[in-house]
Structure 1
Amino acid sequence: MIPDASSPVSQYISFIIAGDVYAVNILRTREIVEHSVISRVPRMPACIVGAMNLRGRVVPVIDLAIMLGLPPTKVSRWTCILIVETDLDGESTRLGLLIDAVGDVLTLSEDQIEPAPTFGMQVRMDQLLGVAKVGEKLVLLLNIDHILSPAELLGSTDLGPSAPGAPPALPGSHGAPAGEGDRP
């Protein structure tokens, strides 16, 4: 569908997670990198799979599927990392989002975007900016500032099991057995 010339347009980068199409505003993305070595960091929430070295800069990598309440991403030859910039505690921070595959750049007008329906969605309503109609498909437009907020990163996932001398887990976290969610 070609956007209406009278309606303001925005561009989004689309990607696949668990067979569904999601997108974030292209102004928030910095680059797409091939899946490579990710170093695990002990005692991180399950959604934070580790950190990567991106040209000398340490970038945390988040499994976006876990953040959205879906099963962990299974790494394949199409898996990549979408580098986005978000505001964490008043500081501009780059984070890597582990995604199944990258899609297209979408140019969407306001009339192609509707508020997210209040039922039948796997994503919480505050995680969505809206739903875009692209041909026969629906694309979920993510609110990455909310999804990647410190409260969401620390509060919506479990920490690993407590070790002797380790700080206590966050309230409401249950810990996961060692090895659970490990990647091949």
Structure 2
Amino acid sequence: MAQYLTFKLGREEYAIEILRVQEIRGHSRITPIPNTPAYVKGVINLRGTVVPVVDLRCRLGMPETSDMRFSAIVVVTVGAKIVGLFVDEVSDVADIQHAEVQAPPEFGAHAETRFIAGLVHVGERLIVLLSLDTILREDPSTPLPSPA
């Protein structure tokens, strides 16, 4: 069994491994950085460290939203990097049995399936487990800024 932090993007619920989460911040001032990929919202100052913030909606090919009442930045570690994930709303922590995780479908998902680690039912909820390593993998044509 593993614990996952669940959050919403629109009406859909997603989750990432809780052991990757450093902290959850309310909507902070994000400074845009020129010449970065569209999914990089900018950077935040996290106690003296400059941290890039990725807009998960944009990265997953979802439309933007103007409703930011409950938005948050989930600060995660990916290898040696610290990255902020901009999400619509943080939900809770879910205990998920590895045996209950289903493989992602080949089509019909709201997110690109290459970013999906699996799907799981928790009660009445269908939760999409995201692969942080794939979402944040550095692409030479569109690199993520490194924390300073």
Q: TM-score, normalised by structure 2?
A: 0.91
How far apart are 1:77 and its partner, in Å? Answer: 2.2
Contact map agreement 1:59 1:96 (CA 8 A) in 2: yes
Where does 1:98-177 land on structure 2 (aligned, <5 Å)?
Answer: 98-151=86-139, 154=142
Query: Which gives a bigger RCO, structure 1 or 2 (Cα 8 Å, sep 6+)?
Result: 2
Equivalents in 1 of 2:126, 2:138: separation in Å? 28
Partner of 2:84: 96
1:64 partnered with 2:56 = yes
> Is 1:10–2:2 an aligned residue pair?
yes
Please name the residue that 1:179 is paired with: none
* Structure 2 gap ranges (5+): 144-148
What displacement does 1:147 show? 0.5
Query: What is the rounded CA distance, in whole Å, between the counterparts of 2:85 and 2:141 in structure 1?
Result: 12
Q: Which runs of 4+ in 1 moved over 4 A?
A: none
Match of 2:44? 52
> 1:86-121: per-residue Cα shift (whole Å, max 9, x none)?
02xxxx100000000001101011232111122211
Backbone CA RMSD of aligned residues? 1.6
Rounded to whole Å, the distance in 2 between the matches of 1:64 and 1:117 is 20
Is 1:78 aligned with 2:66?
A: no
2:139 aligned counterpart, secondary structure: helix
For the 8 Å contact 2:62–2:111, the answer to whether it is kept is no
Amino acid of the structure 1 residue aligned with 2:57 = A
- In the TM superposition, residue 153 of structure 1 has moved relative to its aligned partner by 8.2
Equivalenced residue count is: 143
Structure 1 or 2, whichever has the larger Rg, is 1
SS of equivalent residue, structure 2 residue 109: coil
% identical aligned pairs:
37
Match of 1:39 in 2: 31
Structure 1 residue 136, shift from structure 2 partner: 1.5
- Aligned 8 A contact 1:15 1:22 in 2: yes
Cα distance change of structure 1 residues 131 and 152 upon mapping to structure 2, 3 Å threshold = farther
Distance 1:35 1:133 in 2: 29
